[in-house]
Amino acid sequence: MKKILIREIQVGDILAQHIFLPNTGLPLIKGGTVITPVHLRYLEKYELTDLECFIMDESAMMDMLLPEEERIMANNFRSDVIRSIRETTVKKTLAATYLALESLNEEARENRPLTLSKVNNVSSVLVNRILENNNVMLQMAALKAISEYTFSHSVNVAIYAINLGRLLGLNEESLKGLAMAGLLHDIGKMSIPPEIIEKPEKLTPQEFEQIKSHSIKGYLRLTTKTKDLPRETINAVLQHHEKLDGSGYPNGLQGSFIHLWARILSIADIYDAMTSDRCYREAFLPHETVEYLLSLCSQGSLDRELIELFVQNTSFYPPGCKVLLNTGEKGTVVDYPWQVPVRPTIEIISPTSLQKIGKAKQGKLSTPANKKIELEKDLTVFITAMWPP
Ligand SMILES: [Fe+2]
């Protein structure tokens, strides 16, 4: 802890104690807050710059990180881990890149939404280039050793974020910074005991508070342990759980005070987390997740403009993917409406085969094979399971 004059505080410093409004006893900025330009403006506005305050020094920051973190980092500073990460991401995503680029050009020419898997393949090229940066690679290596899920979730978030960034017209440099923020957004979880991160039961309030500390711990880790990462990348990591209405953490920032990249990460993070299987629940389907995202918009906590852009430009059920309907019928996605891609057109393959595997729900089974159902028009029918093409 270090005592300084308030006028000496800099953006990125962390308050060790509250700063109070004189004569009121009310805290203006809470201890633990990472100082932003907005805070500096408030401090000037209330003419507090001649007073003293306490900020965390480097040793206090280090105390916030778990001691075993050093050991984990040392263990993972090994080329075999780094090689395996490269291989995983390359194998997982790059095989179809050439094909994807070809059909992307075609879709772009026809002005159709880009399918998720194809966008992922293209974005993965960028992610792999970023993983050549040793700063990012070492952090990711450490993360992979701790939690395979958090590692692959981070790669997915980076890919979704790039997709949204492209739609917003961000330039190549910004896309790289955004992708790095996606890869590193949960790096603070390295400093939280894995048994809490992977706990299948409901978290206690204290454990939940520990989980919530990951954004600030990630920020600390990146500011103290990496060099030359863009400041915006580190700020986006800090802010990726902030909400537009101020209900997020760690600083309860509102609206445009939250960096655009953090608002993008927030959507990518929720979408990938919900559509992934976890130890405590099965994955939600894309249309269920989109409904949830839209409900968060209506509550005022997520950015409507960004979500609409994401929803209207993504094919969540790409043509060729197999789906099971609530009617018990099984079909293949053959098309999707541009404005409502979560309700595609399904060609029925076999109304009876699903009954054999016992997954069909009771319902109408009157549609003959090879008939098409347009979910956009028939609102009583919905997808209950899917298999990628
Ligand atoms: Fe997070």
Look at residue 342 in the predicted model and tell me its pLDDT. 81
* Co-location of 168 and 233 in the same domain: yes
In terms of pLDDT, which residue wins out, 355 or 38? 38
User: Which pLDDT band holds residue 352 (cuts at 50, 70, 90)?
Assistant: low
In a domain, 141, yes or no: yes
* Co-location of 25 and 164 in the same domain: no
Residue 17: pLDDT over 50: yes
What is the CATH number for 29? 3.90.105.10
User: Which pLDDT band holds residue 125 (cuts at 50, 70, 90)?
Assistant: low
The span from the CA of 366 to the CA of 380, in Å, is: 14
The string of DSSP letters for 270-325 reads HHHHHTS-BTTBPPPPHHHHHHHHHHHHHTTSS-HHHHHHHHHTEESS-TT-EEEE
User: Which pLDDT band holds residue 232 (cuts at 50, 70, 90)?
Assistant: very high
How far away, in angstroms, is 226 Cα from ligand 1 center?
A: 19
In a domain, 239, yes or no: yes
Which of 287, 312, 337 is the last residue in one of the domains?
312
The span from the CA of 66 to the CA of 64, in Å, is: 7
How far away, in angstroms, is 130 Cα from ligand 1 center?
A: 20
In a domain, 261, yes or no: yes
Look at residue 201 in the predicted model and tell me its pLDDT. 85
The span from the CA of 304 to the CA of 59, in Å, is: 41
| HSE, side-chain direction, 13 A CA sphere, residue 347 | 8
In terms of pLDDT, which residue wins out, 287 or 130? 287
User: Within 10 Å of residue 257's Cβ, how many Cβ atoms?
Assistant: 15
Percent of the chain scoring above 90 in pLDDT: 21
Average pLDDT of span 193-204: 85
Which of 312, 338, 353 is the last residue in one of the domains?
312
* Co-location of 139 and 187 in the same domain: yes
pTM of the shown model = 0.68
* Co-location of 9 and 139 in the same domain: no
In terms of pLDDT, which residue wins out, 134 or 246? 246
Q: Name the one residue in this structure whose structure tokens are 């190549």.
A: 172
How far away, in angstroms, is 161 Cα from ligand 1 center?
A: 14
How far away, in angstroms, is 332 Cα from ligand 1 center?
A: 35
Average pLDDT of span 367-388: 79
In a domain, 317, yes or no: no
pLDDT tens digits for 135-150?
676 677 677 767 778 8
Percent of the chain scoring above 70 in pLDDT: 72
Domain containing 202: what range?
68-312
Phi-psi group of 363: left, alpha or beta (phi > 0 → left; psi -120 to 50 → alpha; rest → beta): left
Single-letter code of the amino acid located at 376: E
In terms of pLDDT, which residue wins out, 208 or 103? 208
Look at residue 341 in the predicted model and tell me its pLDDT. 77
The span from the CA of 60 to the CA of 58, in Å, is: 5
* Co-location of 82 and 217 in the same domain: yes
Look at residue 37 in the predicted model and tell me its pLDDT. 72
How far away, in angstroms, is 238 Cα from ligand 1 center?
A: 9
Residue 197: pLDDT over 70: yes
How far away, in angstroms, is 258 Cα from ligand 1 center?
A: 15
In terms of pLDDT, which residue wins out, 95 or 16? 16
Mean pLDDT of the chain: 76
Over its C-alpha atoms, the chain yields an Rg (Å, rounded) of 23
For every residue of 46-99, which 3-state class applies, written as one string? Answer: CCCCCCEEEECCHHHHHHCCCCHHHHHHHHHCCHHHHHHHHHHHHHHHCCCHHH
How far away, in angstroms, is 185 Cα from ligand 1 center?
A: 6
* Co-location of 182 and 301 in the same domain: yes
How far away, in angstroms, is 44 Cα from ligand 1 center?
A: 32
How far away, in angstroms, is 346 Cα from ligand 1 center?
A: 35
∠ at Cα 225 (74, 3), nearest 5°? 130
How far away, in angstroms, is 217 Cα from ligand 1 center?
A: 11
Helix (H) or strand (E) holding 27: strand 27-29
* Co-location of 111 and 224 in the same domain: yes
Which of 312, 345, 362 is the last residue in one of the domains?
312
Determine contact, residues 193/66, Cβ cutoff 8 Å. yes
What is the CATH number for 242? 1.10.3210.10
- Could you tell me which of 366, 375, 388, 311 has the C-alpha nearest to residue 346? 375
* Co-location of 138 and 275 in the same domain: yes
Is the peptide bond preceding residue 319 cis, with omega within 30 degrees of 0?
no
Domain count, the chain: 3
In a domain, 362, yes or no: yes
In a domain, 291, yes or no: yes
* Co-location of 248 and 328 in the same domain: no
pLDDT tens digits for 23-35?
777 778 877 777 7
Residue 14: pLDDT over 80: no
Average pLDDT of span 349-367: 51
Q: Which residues 6+ apart lie within 8 Å of 261 measured at CB? A: 161, 165, 174, 177, 178, 181, 232, 233, 235, 236
* Co-location of 10 and 72 in the same domain: no
Q: How far is CA 77 from CA 138, 140, 328, in A?
A: 7, 11, 51
How far away, in angstroms, is 389 Cα from ligand 1 center?
A: 30
How far away, in angstroms, is 189 Cα from ligand 1 center?
A: 8
In a domain, 379, yes or no: yes
How far away, in angstroms, is 273 Cα from ligand 1 center?
A: 10
How far away, in angstroms, is 356 Cα from ligand 1 center?
A: 41
* Co-location of 81 and 15 in the same domain: no
* Co-location of 55 and 139 in the same domain: no
In a domain, 134, yes or no: yes
Look at residue 253 in the predicted model and tell me its pLDDT. 92
How far away, in angstroms, is 186 Cα from ligand 1 center?
A: 5
The span from the CA of 253 to the CA of 245, in Å, is: 8
How far away, in angstroms, is 215 Cα from ligand 1 center?
A: 6
